[in-house]
Amino acid sequence: MNNSLLKTLIERNLVTARTEIDAVYRGRDIGGAPTVIATGTFLILSITYREDGAYIFQCADTVAGSRRNIHGANIVAIDGMDPVRFAANFELTETGEPMKVGKRRGRKPKALLAQMAREAEAA
């Protein structure tokens, strides 16, 4: 996951404690060897910022309850959505910048029409 997008999501309180994430982590195989790369669903318990600009999430596994420290770059999904799609819902680009919103289509509200009529009369 893009670190600048993650920083923006955390600053806007869109990713906080008690947010559910899917992340890649190093698991153990049946023999106990730490070689398997797996994807799991976790609940964020706390977020720590390091001096090198990385975010570390202390998380609890939603199935087993085991706790892990997950690096921000290993996040695959936030609340079941791809991070870019999650950011687009809040009008953010994939780099965390505000998205330019185009002209809204459809019927205008009556209050807006009344305001525009008053401005036209005053001019």
Contact 44, 18 (CB under 8 A): yes
Structural tokens at position 76:
């695959």
Residue found under tokens 């770059």: 73
pTM score of the predicted model? 0.77
Q: What percent of the chain has pLDDT over 70?
A: 98
Question: How far is CA 8 from each of CA 25, 65, 70, 72, rounded to the nearest angstrom?
Answer: 23, 28, 18, 13
CA–CA distance, 112 with 13 (Å, rounded to integer): 31
Helical ranges in 20-74 per DSSP H: none
If one counts every other C-beta atom within 10 angstroms of the C-beta of residue 9, the result is 25
**In this structure, CATH architecture of domain 3-100:** Roll (2.30)
Mean pLDDT of 72-80: 95
Q: Return the domain boundaries, the chain.
A: 3-100
Q: Give residue-wise pLDDT tens across range 85-97.
A: 999 999 999 999 9
